[in-house]
Structure 1
Amino acid sequence: MMKLLYKDNEIFHTITGTGHTKIPLVLLHGFLEDMTIWYDFIEGLGKERQIICIDLPGHGRSKDFSGPHGMQEMANIVAAVLKDIGIQQVSLAGHSMGGYVGLEFLDNFPMMLKDIMLINSTPSEDTVERKKIRDRSIEIVGTNKDAFISMAISNLFSAESREVFKDEIDRLKQAAYRLNIENIQQTLKAMRDRKDHTVTLKKFEGGKMIIAGKDDTLIEITDIQKLATETNSDLIILEKGHNSWLEMSEKLYKNMLFID
C-alpha cells in the first residue's frame, strides 16, 4: 500500500502486477466502495501489465476532504498519483462513479489515456429526476447515514443476488458505515453536478468499451445502448444488475483482458 499527500490529504493506492506486455491499467471503484472490489481481478490482469488501484477521497483508506470536491478534483488526484509513480500513459476501467472520474480524467488529461472501459457507468449527466434523488439522499445521509448506506447498497441488487452474495454485501456495508457523513454528501453532490461527457467519449480515438448490466436499476439498458452507438463505443451486455464486478465477475474479467 502506498500513499500520496495531495493538498494535505492522504490518498492511498497500490501498484501490482509483473507483466509489461500492455501499458498500466488504472482501476477506479464506485460510490461507497473502495479498491478492494478489484482484488479478485488484479492477479490475473497483472500477468500482462501493472495494475494501479486508487482509493478515491473519503473512500477506503484515503482521507476525507473538507468542503466540495467534484469530479475534476478526483481526476486531478488520479493524475497526481500517476505523476508521483512516474507513469505517463494508462488504460482505465471505472465502476459506476469510477467511470465518471475516468471520463473527467479523459476530458482533462487526454494524452495520458489510451483506452477506457466504463463498467455499469454512463457518459451522460444526471437527469432532472436523478438530481432530485441525489438531493433527497443528501438529506437522508444527514439524518441517518447508516440507514442510507444499507438501503443504497441493497437496492443495487435483486432479491436473488442479495441472498447469493449476502456475505459480500454485508462486507460492503460494514466498510461503508465507516465513511464520513460530510464526505458522502459531497460525493453525492459531485455526482449530481458532473458534466455530460457524451461528446468527450465520442471524440476519443482510443479504445472504448461499455459494460452494462441487463437488469441495472440505475442505468436503463436502452439508454446505454443508444449512448454506445452515439459514442462509437463497444458495448457488452451482461446479465444481472449494477455491480458486475461481483455478480458477473468471471465474464467481466474475461472482457477486461481485452483492454489494450
Structure 2
Amino acid sequence: MKLNYKSTELFYTTKGTGNPLVLLHGFLESTKIWDPFIEKLSGKRQVICIDLPGHGKSGNISDIHTMELMADVVHEVLQHLKIVQASLVGHSMGGYVSLAFLEKFPGMTKSLVLMNSTPEEDSEEKKINRDRSISIVMKNKNVYINMAITNLLPPGNFIKFRTELDEIKNQALQMSKEGIIAALKGMKIRTNRNLVLKNFRNPKYIILGTKDLILNAETTQVIAKHCECQLILTEGGHLSYLENYTEIEEILYFID
C-alpha cells in the first residue's frame, strides 16, 4: 500500500486485525526482511511493515533522514490506519526509529523490542566511520553495499546464509545514493535515548546476537540491565531475524 507524505510516496503493508504490531527494518533493508514472519503473526493480530524513507519502495523525503523524521513517517502510517497504540519491533536502525517514536509520541507504544539495536548515540569513532561510508557511497554505491552487508554476519553464518544475504544485497542495490547517504547522516546525529528507554514502563526487550560484529555484546548487556529491559541472547551476529528465525518468530508471536 502507498501513502503520500510531504510529496513523497511511502510504502507499507498491513495484514490481520487487532492488537497492532509494527515491524521496522534496519539500514539497507526493507519490509522484505519480515516476509517469513507475517503469515503466522497476522493470524492473531494486525501486522504493519513500513519501508522507511529511502528504503524499499519508499521515496526520499530529505537530504538527511533523521530518526525523528522516520518516526514521523511511522506516526503518519498509524494515523492513516487509525491506530492509537501499537507494539514496535525495530531491527538495528529500526530500533533507533522506534525509540524516537517512543519519545515523540508518548502513550502510543504498547511494548518495544530492540533487535540488534541500542539506545546509545554514535561514538566519535562511529561518526568518523559514517563520514567515510558517505564518501565511499558517493564514489561507488555498489562497493559500499557489498562491504556493509558482508560485515553483518560472523564468517560461519556468512557462508550459511549466503543466498539470503545476496537477496538483501540485491534489494539494497535498488536504493539511490541519496537515500543511503540520508540514512547515514541521520544515524550519525541521533541522540542518546537511554533515559527514554529506562523510563518506558511497558514491556521492553533487547535481542542481542552474542557474535554481533556491529554492537558490543558486553556494553549492550549493561545497557539492557540499566534500562530494565528483558535481555534475550541469541547465537549469531547482527541479523537475528535471519540467523535465529525460529526463536525470533516465537518471541514475536508471544510479545505482549
Q: Do both proteins adopt the same fold according to a TM-score greater than 0.5, normalized to the shorter chain? A: yes
What is aligned with 1:11? 10
Q: C-alpha displacement at 1:259, in angstroms?
A: 1.4
CA distance in 2, matches of 1:65, 1:74: 10
CA distance in 2, matches of 1:44, 1:25: 13
Which of 37, 49, 66 is the aligned partner of 2:45? 49
Q: C-alpha displacement at 1:258, in angstroms?
A: 2.5
What is aligned with 1:187? 183
What is aligned with 1:65? 61
Q: C-alpha displacement at 1:252, in angstroms?
A: 1.0
Which of 171, 174, 185 is the aligned partner of 2:170? 174
What is aligned with 1:77? 73
CA distance in 2, matches of 1:258, 1:200: 24
Are residue 159 (structure 1) and residue 161 (structure 2) matched?
Answer: no
CA offsets, 1:180-228, max 9 Å, x none?
1111111001011101100000000111000000000011111111000
CA offsets, 1:45-84, max 9 Å, x none?
1122100000001111111224222110000000000001
1:133-144 to structure 2, matched below 5 A, reads: 133-144=129-140
What is aligned with 2:30? 34
CA contact (8 A) 1:55 1:61 kept: yes
CA distance in 1, matches of 2:123, 2:235: 25
Which of 84, 91, 115 is the aligned partner of 2:87? 91
Aligned length, in residue pairs? 256
What is aligned with 2:110? 114
What is aligned with 1:100? 96
CA distance in 1, matches of 2:254, 2:114: 13
CA contact (8 A) 2:153 2:237 kept: yes
CA distance in 2, matches of 1:204, 1:228: 13
CA distance in 2, matches of 1:212, 1:3: 32
Identity within the alignment, %:
47
The TM-score normalised by the length of structure 2 is: 0.98
Q: C-alpha displacement at 1:97, in angstroms?
A: 0.3
CA offsets, 1:3-32, max 9 Å, x none?
1100000010011125x3xx1000000000
CA contact (8 A) 2:154 2:213 kept: no
CA contact (8 A) 2:24 2:50 kept: yes
Q: C-alpha displacement at 1:161, in angstroms?
A: 1.4
CA contact (8 A) 1:17 1:42 kept: no
> Any stretches of 5+ residues in structure 1 without a counterpart?
none
The TM-score normalised by the length of structure 1 is: 0.96
Letter of the 2:11 counterpart: F
